[in-house]
Structure 1
Amino acid sequence: MEDFKFKSATKIIFGKGAEDTVGEHVAKHSRKVLIHYGGEYLKEFGILDRVIQSLEKSGVEYVVLDGVVPNPRLSLVYKGIKICKEENIDFVLAIGGGSSIDSSKAIALGTKYDGDVWDFYCGKASPKSALKVGTILTIPGSGSEMSESSIITNEKGNLKFGIDCELIVPEFSILNPEMCYTIPPYLMSCGIADILSHLFERYFTTTKSSILSDHLLEGAMKALLEVAPNIKKEPKNYDYCSEIMWLATVSHNGMLDAGRTSDWGSHRIEHEISALYDITHGAGMAIVFPAWMKYVKNENIDRFVQLATRVFGVKCENDKQLVANKGIACLEDFFKSLGLNTTLTEAGVPVDKFEEMAQKAVGDSEYVGRFKRIGKNDIVEILKLSV
């Protein structure tokens, strides 16, 4: 196990009707907030009205900014920053999934900065302060409700960059599994794929000994594989929704990769796909991860054998390659059972810009990823395996 620092700063309020208490939680930090969200379902199901009622009851003023879309846009972030500065807002309340939360975090950073908030995402500057952020999670998957991460798409150049910063870890996150009842089946499937991708990024490590984390990650994967088909059959089962929502949060709050390196090469590749073609992130990860696995498995075949046998139940055989390949095939079958595509062709994504995507993925670096350092040519080959 490697040296690490771990801090869990987010207060989790988990349970039925938890969003009705948001006013009292916000009031501890602010008297005027920006409510930031996307999706008419929040109005359709009365979620926005309940949030506003709770804020008003606690004497909290608010300004509303909607319009968040998957792969949240920098242009909307700029709009939110302008509102916060003009209205003297000191807290951002995100309602939604990862896109709303990431956009809110970007607004929180930009409001306290005199320059262009994009400076933080492209590495030109480091944030020194930020507004505080709270979240009401409605779509599990990204884990942004308890993480220090934010990923934003800049429409100019189709660039999708992220930042990790302790300043934007949410003060609190409200998780009501009943919110999952409003999620279309396809988006739930994308969320499940996103959760699994976060577990994989941590699982594929170069750390020699991290036994506890291995078992925690494998346990989370097995729980997800068990619950996923059940929630497809019973999308309004509170217990299943609870498991998915908490799995999403735990998979990305930093606890499961404490003391070990994580990879993140696959995420860099997918970001270029969704930046160019605007597909949902989880759907992109269902395409990229099997291809990445096929390309890098010989870097540490034993790790793939361990995944196949411990998580997917592949019987141990003398041929490690066969066992590893069966594990990858099980993963592809799982994604297909969720109604997700596992190739770019099936997803209708053009396959003529691999060189461009690979160059953007590595940027100014020579490689991405840690499990296996992959450069531009490697990424092109991985993308070819995903066709």
Structure 2
Amino acid sequence: MLFVFNVPSQCQLSKDLPSSTITARAMRNGGAGMEKALSNQEDLGGDRGMTDDIFDESYCEKEGPKPAKRYVWRNIVLMSLLHLGGLYGLWLIPAAKPVTLAWGFLCFLLSALGVTAGAHRLWSHRSYKAGLPLRIFLAIANSMAFQNDIYEWARDHRVHHKFSETDADPHNATRGFFFSHVGWLLVRKHPDVIEKGRKLDLADLKADKVVMFQRRFYKLSVVAMCFLFPTIVPWCFWGESLRNSFFLPAILRYVVVLNASWLVNSAAHMFGNRPYDRNINPRENRWVTFGALGEGFHNYHHTFPYDYSTSEFGWHYNFTTAFIDLMCLLGLASDRKKVSKETILARKIRTGDGSHKSG
């Protein structure tokens, strides 16, 4: 089973567990153990059976000089060529047929959902359950997004949450906007990222046959879904030129999906308010929310990572939440995890920056 907790009724929002006065969890730093008292257990998602996306306050960055940057020149060259192709695609827009532009937008939505509803909310945070048909669809859509396979994406994202804004964070925003946006893909990972990633419990991902099948055939699936399929459809079905078919629904769409996703790591960690937790970097950023299908409510998400909606506002600017709700309505998904309004308000009062008072 992908999930290690049960919610009795299908497709019914699960409620928070009752508040406990104090909950202790073991924290490890090297070989030493210590306990840290935490109030309001539901802030962590109750007993959902997963803590690898909860910030580890015991982590200490190693003393001494930082490791030297090791550039990945293959990625630098490919990313440069890709974005040049995206700029060329922008120039081609006036020459394309309207149906080709509509197809490109549809491919954008599909590939983005493969990341937001799939790799992120389903597989990284286990915030809802998905049946086999939906998991297959999301895995295919994720290959269209071409942002590493689901297993690797979820592993790195859990490390990002557990060690946010430290050397063990793959796209540590304290290293600057460019690094957190794309630079982290152009250099070798910090050793702590690799070390901490290896220590995570990824048994749920390994047990999911859809995840492991996609991982096994990832390169082939990327060629087929990210590049060939978006190109062939307009070329064959409505006679679009091969040039427009390739540079618009394939290349430009891919560049837009990448940058929309990257803005969650960069802009949403730097610009915006913090109504839920003023002590962390992630912010609420409406522009990122709009472009990333609901992923810009980032202060909320890092405060309550188990919430399937990543927001307290339901469908507001949140296409991904609407999609998951539709899947539940159709019987393809179930067991959405949601934070109670009482818990949200209490957290705003306790640790928020006060911006919630003005709406």
For the aligned pair, the TM-score class normalised by the smaller chain equals: under 0.3
TM-score, length-scaled by structure 1: 0.23
Larger RCO: 1 or 2 (CA < 8 Å, sep 6+): 2
**When the two structures are superposed, what TM-score results if normalisation uses the length of structure 2?**
0.24
Q: Which has the higher strand share?
A: 1
